Amino acid sequence: MSSTPERRRHPRFPVSWPIRLWVDDEPLLGRAEDASQHGLWVTVAPTTALRLGKICWVDVLSDELGSFTVAGEVRHVTGRRIGLETMRPVPVAGLEKT
């Protein structure tokens, strides 16, 4: 086990939000598993359309925060899990208090 600290600029919060990820005008249904101020980890069906650097839109349906849409760049692909860096902040301030 490594003792190297995680390289995060913003804390992550566990979430369970249904999402619709738009890739080239095609929707992929999935779930956000955690969120930070400028990122989301999502799980979607396997696809070759999501590659590093790809820009996509994410519609998020959150019970805690309400629905919102963000654009994101694919930064990590690990099987069905996709790490996205969002272009504008994810509204996680409400999660910090829970």
- Sequence spans of domains, the chain: 13-86
> How far is the C-alpha of 29 from the C-alpha of 19, rounded, in Å?
6
* Phi and psi at residue 18, to the nearest 5°: -65, 140
User: What average pLDDT does range 44-69 have in this prediction?
Assistant: 91
Q: With cut-offs at 50, 70 and 90, classify the pLDDT of residue 78.
A: very high
- Would you state the pLDDT for residue 63? 84
Residue range 13-86 forms a domain whose CATH class is mainly beta
Segment 68-77 long-range contacts (CB within 8 Å, at least 24 positions apart): 70/40, 72/39, 72/40, 74/50, 75/39, 76/52, 77/50, 77/51, 77/52
**pTM assigned to the model:** 0.83
Listed residue (51, 50, 70) closest to 59, CA to CA? 70
Q: With bands split at pLDDT 50, 70 and 90, how would you rate the model's confidence at 7?
A: low
If one compares 64 and 96, the residue with the highest pLDDT of the two is 64
Q: Which helix (H) or strand (E) is 26 found in, with range?
A: strand 26-36
Residue 20 scores a pLDDT above 90? yes
